[in-house]
Chain A
Amino acid sequence: MNSNSPLPDENSGHKPNNTALKLVIAAVAMFGFGFALVPLYDIFCEITGINGKTGGPVERVEQWVDTSRTITVQFITTNNAGMPWEFEALQEEVEMHPGAWTQVEFWALNPTANDMVGQAVPSVSPSEAAEYVQKTECFCFDQQTLKAGEGRKMPLIFSLDPKLPSHVKKVTMSYTLFDAGAFAK
C-alpha cells in the first residue's frame, strides 16, 4: 500500500473504531448541549434582559432621581387557563420619575373550595425596559399560597433605573398568574 492509502496499516493508527467512538462522543455531547441550552438561555436572558423578564430582588439603594422626566407605568394582570383567582392591580397606572422607589399593590383572592398555590410570572413591555426595572419586593419572586376563600393584598416595590433610555416614556408591567400546584415547593 502506498502512503496515500486511507486503509488501516500499522503506521496510520487510523482505525474505523476510533472515528466511530469520537462521533458517538460528539453525539452524546450534543445531547448534553441541548440540555445546557436551558441554563445558557436563562443566563443570556438575565444578562441582557432581552426577554422582557425582570430579575430577582435587589438591595434598595437611594439613588439619584431624575425629576426631568416622568414615566407612565401601567400594570396589567392575566389569569392563565385554569387559574380562577381574582387577580388585579389595585392601581392601573402610576407616574414616576426614574430612580424613585414606588410601591403598588395587587389583590388576589382564591374563590374555590380548595387551598391553591399560584405563581405570578412577570413580563415587561417594551422588552428593552426590563433590565432597568429594579424590584426589592415582588409577589412574583415566590409562589403564593391562598387557602380556600382567602384573599390578600400583595405588594410590589420597585424603581426604574435612571439609565432607562430617554425614548422610553411608558412601561407596561404584566403579571400572568399560573396555577403552580404541580410545582408547589
Chain B
Amino acid sequence: MTTATASHDDHDDHGHHGPAKGIMRWVLTTNHKDIGTMYLWFAFAMLLTGGVMALIVRAELFQPGMQLIRPEFYNQMTTMHGLIMVFGAIMPAFVGLANWMVPLMIGAPDMALPRMNNWSFWILPFAFGMLLFTLFTEAGAPNFGWTFYAPLSTTYAPSSVTYFIFGVHMMGISSIMGAINIIVTILNLRAPGMTLMKMPLFVWTWFITAYLLVAVMPVLAGVVTMMLMDIHYGTAFFDAAGGGDPVLFQHVFWFFGHPEVYIMILPAFGIVSQIIPTFARKPLFGYASMVYATSSIAFLSFIVWAHHMFTVGLPLQTELFFMYATMLIAIPTGVKVFNWVSTMFRGSMTFETPMLFALAFVVLFTIGGFSGLMLAIAPADFQYHDTYFVVAHFHYVLVPGALFGIIAGVYYWLPKWTGHYYNENLGKFHFWMSFIGVNITFFPMHFVGLAGMPRRIPDYALQFADFNAIATVGAFIFGFSQLIFLFLLIKTIRGGEKATDQVWEGAEGLEWTIPLPAPYHTFAEPPHVK
C-alpha cells in the first residue's frame, strides 16, 4: 500500500475563521466533509423511515388475516419501503462515505466540483419530501412495487404516480451529478505519486460505481419519462392499445435495475477491503485481482438484466443466454470472497466493531450470493420467481451486505471524523443484536418462499404462519437495534475517549495521516505518495 509524508494541514492563514455558524453553514456549504455528514444523516433518517414501513409490513404479516392495515395501504408500504431504502438510504449513505473519504484517501483538498456537490445533496430532501408527502394525500402513495411495472404503474396507477416520477427524476439528477463529481475528482485530483493502481480499494470501487451510475441512471430517467408521457401525453410506449408493449418496460427498467444493484454493493466491497487488512494487520490479498474482479462484475452487470424476467415469456435462446451470463458473475464475485479470506489467513486479527461487521458481511453476503446463484438457474427460477425466496436473497445481499458494509465504514472512520473512539462495548452490542436480528428476520424467508409464498401479499395461507411470525420477531429486534447505533453516534460526536491519529493499529492510507477530529480543510498542499 501507499505510504505518505504526513501533511498536517490546518492553515488558518487564508483568513478563514473555520466553518460558518448556524443553519446557513449547512445550506451553503461546499465542504466535502460537511456534505458527507449531511448525506449520512439524511441516509440514516431515511433508513429509520423505511424501517418503520418495514415494521408495519412485518407487523401485519405476523399472523394470517388482516389485523392492522388494509391491503391498499399495505401495497403503499411495501412500495415506499423499497423506494426509500434503495434510493434514500443505501445510495445516499454510500455517497456520503465517498464524499468524506475519497478526497482524504487520494490526498485532495475537496471534491473537484464543490458547488455541484452541494446541489447534489440538497435535491434529495426535496425529492423525498415530495415522495413521502404522497402518503398523506387521498389517492395515497405509489402502490405498484418499487419496480413499478407497466401497466399497473401507468394506466392503473394512483395520481401520486406523477410525484413519484418527479421524485425519481430529481433523485436521479442528484446521483448523476454526484457520480460525475467522483469520477472527475479521482481522475484529476490524486496526489502526486498516487497512480490508479495505488488507490485504496474503496476509491476504486467508487470509481467503477460512478461510471455505472452515469451509464444507467439516465436510462431510469428515460423509462420514467416514457411513463409520464404514457400517463399524461397520450403516448403508448407500454400500452398495447396504442401499439406499445408492457414487456418493453421491463427490459428498459431492468437494464437500469441490474447495474443498480451492483451500484448498491460495489462500494461495500471497497469498504470491507479496507477494514479487513487493517484488523488482520496484513495487506489486502490480490489487490490487482480485486480491481479486475470489480471491473468484470461491473461490465457483466450490463448483460444480465433479463434474469429478472425469466417468467415473462422470453424465447428459449434468450433465456439461455441470460442464464449463462448471470452464472458468470459468480466467478469474479467468488474471487473477491477468496481474496478477503486470504487476507485474514495468517494475519493477526482483532475483532473491533468494524471488523465484526466486515466479517459478518463476508459470510452473509456470500449466503446471499448462493441464493443468487440458485436464482440464476432459469428452470429452477420458475419456482422461485416472485416468491419470498427472492425477498430473502436480496435482503441478504442488501442488509447484511450493503448496510453492514456502510455501518462497518461508519464505525471504522467515526473516530477520525469526531476525534473520539466510540464505546466499543456498545458497538459490539449493536453488532450482535443486528446480526441475530437480521438472520432471524430473513433466513426463514428462504423457507416460506420455497414452500410457495409469493411476494407482495398482505395476507397468506395458514401453512406460512410460523415462519412469518419468526421473521416478524427478528425484524423488530433488528429494527430497534439500530436505535443503539443512533445513540452511539450521538454520544461519540459529543464526547468520548480521545483517539490517536492513526486510530487503528493496522490502518494504512492517507486518511489516517491527518489530525483528528478531521480539520475542516485538509490537504491544501498535496502530499507526496511513494
Contact = CB atoms under 8 A, between A and B. Distances in A.
B365 interface: no
Contacts of A33: 218-219, 222
Contact of B241 (A15, A31, A41, A179): A179
Interface stretch (A5-13, A87-95, A163-171): A5-13
Nearest to B221: A31
Interface stretch (B93-101, B190-198, B354-362): B190-198
Interface stretch (A20-28, A68-76, A99-107, A152-160): A20-28
Interface stretch (B3-11, B243-251, B442-450, B476-484): B243-251
Contacts of A128: 315-316
Interface in A5-52: 5-8, 14-16, 19-20, 23-24, 26-35, 37-38, 41, 48, 50-52
A23 B242 contact: no
A28 B194 CA distance: 31
A6 B218 contact: no
Interface size range of chain A in the complex:
35 or more
A26 B215 contact: yes
A149 B183 CA distance: 64
Contacts of A63: none
Interface size range of chain B in the complex:
35 or more
Contacts of A32: 222
Contacts of A15: 188
A180 interface: yes
B214 A30 contact: yes
A182 to B, nearest CB: 6
B313 A20 contact: no
B255 interface: yes
B113 A34 contact: no
Contacts of B247: 51
Given A121-B240, A127-B313, A180-B241, A16 B180 contact: no
A176 interface: yes
Contacts of A50: 315, 318
A7 B241 CA distance: 57
Which of B192, B194, B234 has most A Cβ within 10 Å? Answer: B192
Nearest to A117: B241
A85 B178 CA distance: 53
Interface of B: 112-113, 176, 179-180, 183-185, 187-190, 192-195, 214-223, 225-226, 234, 236-237, 239-243, 245, 247-248, 251-252, 255, 313, 315-316, 318, 526
Interface of A: 1-2, 4-8, 14-16, 19-20, 23-24, 26-35, 37-38, 41, 48, 50-52, 80, 119, 121, 127-128, 176, 178-180, 182-183
